[in-house]
Amino acid sequence: MQFYPKAREKRPSIHHASVRPRRMKVLKAAIVNLVILQVLFLCLFCYIFGSIYQQNTHVHNLKVLFIDYDGGAIGDSVRSAYEKLKGPGFPSLIERSTTEYPHPNLVDSAVCNIDYWGALYTTADASNSLTAALSGGSAAASYDSSNVLTMAWNEARYPTIVDSFLSNSLKSLTEAAWVAYSTANGQQALQSVNKSDPAALEALYNPWSLSSVNLQPTSQGARLIYNTLVILLLIMQNFFFLGYVNGLYVQFKLYTSVAPHRIAIYRQLISAVYTLIGSLCATGAIWAFRHGWHVNGNQFVLTWISFWLFAHLNYLVLDVFTIWIPPAYVPMAMVTWAVTNSTSVLIPFDLSPGFYRWGYALPTHSIYQILIDIWSGGCNPQLNYALPVLFVYELIAMTLSTIGVYRRAHYACLAQEKDEMSCRDNIVTAIRDLRQDLAKDRQMGRIPDTEKEQQPPSAAILTEQEKLIHILRHEIARAKAEDEGNEVAFSLPFKDYL
């Protein structure tokens, strides 16, 4: 048995006159598409890398609230340390008076309300407690080094960013503050310390350790992909299913046989059910791998509903792409949509160049802000803009998608009429040619004029009939191929069971 024998049959040379024009057309088309795709992906790469370019120099845009409830040497040490660390790569320490925030709970609320990325505050009378502890006795025994400096933050808000740029920076600040305190008060502390009391010596060598009020600890490994791969997979699964749905409508020619309003209703129902199931699976996967993450059932349901809205509007947006954009450019539009959306939540806008703030208008940025608000128990109150953005996309895309059904039905009917007319013209031409051939055969005596009804058909008649049948089959196959080629659709892997 030969290896694919038909493929090994002799064909014209690439230099043949009939092949040369096609060869040049193929080469030209390949070059054009190469340039378009390379330029597109080069722009997308530049767009992504531009969003994180020199993000270390934008760290100062992260505002940290500082409240000095102590009013003593420890607060002065923090200020002195910040003056040495202050720069483009360090968060900005914004000091406010205790009259604005008379209680630490108000500081935590300011962080929860995203007035600041984090907060640092000293405990009231902490300096006097430390001085008393150095003298030994009961004051040293009761001294709590963790009740001096406290950091408030929300780890659920861009976990990897706040871990590296906020938490680590404030830890460095407290260590630098300890050095500043030792420089300013070390000699006096050595003179007053009770060297026979271990608790006093402990207070001298370890005067404080930074306490943390983490509004929502988010340390699980899966946190790395919440704002990247999860978003991309939700968009991609909608794109592929949309291709299969379009394939169904093309295969069964529904646009020419079903009323457009019914098609629109059924397409909306299909998309709603599919995105409902897809969002449930995505939420279930997040919850299944949430080890150590304290979230409850209510947050699960809210996450599911939010993902559902996001997935459905993306389905509609991609459907709009397939309606109003030429099929050859739909994959490019989908890739651009996915990349620009994922970039809008890659890092906070505070760390990106100002140009990227246009991402506020993208649905991915809105859904991620909603998710942070859900996961941290309301400590990211941006629903006032995030929900309207999502619903605007939902309503506009749903409207355009519904109009697109009528557009598809209109052009499908026009194409069918054109194909039927073309097929009819070809058949008429074939029949006319057949009659002319039969007339010539009669004139030449191949078919007797008398008793022709009783005689068997000649070979010429059979040949012409076979030609006619071949033409009919060719026209039907061509019409079907043209219908299937005018829509962004995928082959149906399970069509044998339909």
Q: By the 8 A CB rule, do 104 and 121 touch? A: yes
pLDDT of residue 225: 93
φ and ψ at residue 318, rounded to 5 degrees: -65, -35
Q: Is 312 exposed, middle or buried (0-12, 13-18, 19+ CB in 10 A)?
A: buried
Amino acid identity at 389: V
Domains of the chain and any CATH numbers: 62-215 (3.40.1710.10), 222-413 (no CATH), 414-497 (no CATH)
Q: By the 8 A CB rule, do 397 and 405 touch? A: no
Nearest-angstrom CA–CA distance, 2 and 4: 6
Q: What is the mean pLDDT of residues 379-401?
A: 95
Nearest-angstrom CA–CA distance, 359 and 353: 12
Q: Is 191 exposed, middle or buried (0-12, 13-18, 19+ CB in 10 A)?
A: exposed
pTM here is 0.85
User: How far, rounded to the nearest angstrom, does the alpha carbon of residue 362 sit from its chain's CA centroid?
Assistant: 10
Per residue in 7-43, pLDDT tens? 888 888 888 888 888 888 889 989 999 999 999 999 9
pLDDT of residue 489: 59
pLDDT category at 63 given cuts 50, 70, 90 is: very high
Q: By the 8 A CB rule, do 130 and 74 touch? A: yes
Nearest-angstrom CA–CA distance, 381 and 261: 39
- Expressed in angstroms, the distance from the first to the final Cα of the chain is 36
Per residue in 236-260, pLDDT tens? 999 999 999 988 888 888 888 889 9
- Angle, helix 229-251 to helix 459-485, in steps of 10 degrees: 150
